[in-house]
Structure 1
């Protein structure tokens, strides 16, 4: 009986490891393995096909000397900055609106969250139709009698990046709303009641007590939105294709273009490594703060 009992205990200990092992191996090889392979290619002289020689930082020198890369980096800053700030503001406003315990809150919350259920490909395609000067808003308004109305951002090189911001905010602000609403519902009502007794108005309570207490919520939303902005390949490809010209290029589309259409794998790998470093610079402080809070 003792032998049988010990065998069962050993099997009970090993079984979870056996079940998880295939997933662990696949993750190790196809995620971290390919990340290391990509890193090696970025230090090689690879062009059309991979090479495994050591070329030093030549690909990074080419990358930083490429004007299109700097346009892509600037577009990421513009898109990412506006996308994150507007999503946070809109999401907070919607959460405060729903926190007033209005009628049909469930239906309205579902409507706000619905865009998050769509893929960026669908969002980009739909907004491409809406913003197309020949099919969308401009044509509709002109047919209403306003012949001089113009809304050609989609084909305007100076304004096209803002159409990407518009589509991204439409899809992701509901996610921020859900996070903020959960944070608002977690506020101690006794604190709010005490502030009301002291004569504080609700706008003042939100500004001085409730919103400052949502710091962890804003931080989590910031991490997720920044990650989305850096990887915003599918939205831009569906909406603008990186155009007009390369006016809406971001590092993700730059990497794809040079790796798969221009046959410069080494340069594309260097661009992807820069994207990885940007993500790491965001994720590491987040993980550090989480681990620090758990220890405390």
Structure 2
């Protein structure tokens, strides 16, 4: 009778044999890295945004409640900076200009963009070329746009001089050098740049409208303007809100266009809140007042975006 020695099986808590643990751990680490690779790639950008965007927003909020001038001061003094801000005449000029510029910029851009979109929606000949021409200005920066329109509107070398050279010596178009009209030159340049973007938004929406509805309206005898006004445009209503929010955000933060086109002048007749903030912070050495004006701009943007986000989220839940 032969006795057999029972084979040894490691207990659950025993260590694995040398040489087999390292590959297992390496495979686990590799699998863990693969699972979290996207997070690892995005983490540096997320950290940078957290610091340089939201971190400095918090810092600006804090500074606005101090008495900071040329250098930051971290002693809280309450809302004195906001009180001083609303006693400055130049701030009221900037707010009035923002209302004029923003209202005209948004309204005219929407009208021009919609008309261009309806025109191209007829699938006219050369549509691709026209679409590129209308959309091209959006590829330029506001600095380039402002510089170009500064030359175009210059009374000595621009439109006024060109028309006079054609034989109309009495023609006058000097808005850019007049205090009462300088802000309207900002509207002209901004509409020229942004209306093509609005056109692209609405053209994409119009191409998604059910053509059977349009054909049925044609059979009922409806005219083309009536079809667009009563059927097509109401069906793309969400695009109106999206375009409005984008244009309003551009209007509130407009800085480079003003600097390149009018410099805020003549005097400060064409100032906007963004240029006012820069003037107070970096030229007048009033950091607290500049921070307070920046918070007013942030509050304006929030007042525009939050209702939009709420409506979008509410609509998504309904779906």
The corresponding residue for 2:68 is 46
Counterpart residue number, 1:137: 159
| Larger-Rg structure | 2
Distance apart, 1:5 and its partner CA: 6.0
CA-CA distance at 1:232 after TM superposition: 0.7
Quick one: structure 1 residues 9 and 289, their matched pair in 2 at CA, closer, same or farther if it must change by over 3 Å? farther
CA–CA distance in 2 between the matches of 1:223 and 1:92?
16
The alpha-carbon deviation at position 55 of structure 1 amounts to: 1.0
Q: Determine if the alignment matches structure 1 residue 17 to structure 2 residue 39.
A: yes
Could you tell me which residue of structure 2 aligns to residue 118 of structure 1?
140
Which structure would you say has the larger RCO, counting Cα contacts within 8 Å and 6 or more residues apart? 1
Aligned to 1:89: 111
> Structure 1 length normalisation: TM-score?
0.97
Aligned to 1:235: 257
- Pair 1:67-2:128 in alignment: no
1:201 corresponds to: 223
Counterpart position of 1:277: 299
Separation of aligned partners in 2, 1:18 and 1:210: 46
Residue 293 of structure 1: how far off its partner (Å): 2.0
Unmatched runs of 5 consecutive residues or more in structure 1: none
- Tell me, in whole angstroms, the C-alpha distance in 2 between the residues paired with 1:208 and 1:5: 63
Residue of structure 1 aligned with 2:192, choices 151, 170, 175: 170
Tell me the TM-score normalized by structure 2.
0.90
What's the CA shift for 1:7? Answer: 4.2
Q: Does 1:58 align with 2:80?
A: yes
Matches of 1:142 and 1:18 in 2, distance apart?
64
Partner residue, 1:261: 283
Cα distance per residue 1:82-122 (max 9 Å; x no partner) = 00000000000000010111011000000000000000000
Displacement of 1:9 after TM fit?
A: 3.6
Range moving further from structure 2, 160-169 or 140-149:
140-149
Q: 1:156 aligns with which of 169, 174, 178?
A: 178
TM-aligned CA deviation for residue 281 of structure 1: 0.9
Counterpart-to-counterpart distance in 1, 2:212 and 2:151: 49
Q: How far apart, CA to CA, are the structure 2 residues paired with 1:39 and 1:69? A: 19
Residues of 2 paired with 1:96 and 1:25: CA distance? 44
- Aligned alpha-carbon RMSD (Å): 1.2
Once residues 40 and 287 of structure 1 are traced to their aligned partners in structure 2, the CA distance between those partners, rounded to angstroms, is: 27
Give SS of 1:47's match: coil
Q: Deviations over 1:164-220 (max 9, x none)?
A: 000000000000000010111011000011111111111111111001112111110
Q: Report the 3-state secondary structure (helix = DSSP H, G, I; strand = E; otherwise coil) of the residue aligned with 2:167.
A: coil
Give the C-alpha shift of residue 294 in structure 1: 1.9
Superposition map of 1:187-226 within 5 A: 187-226=209-248
Aligned to 2:48: 26
| Unmatched 5+ stretches in structure 2 | 1-22
Aligned pair 1:146/2:171, yes or no? no
- Paired positions, count: 296
- Separation (CA, whole Å) in 2 of partners of 1:40 and 1:295: 36
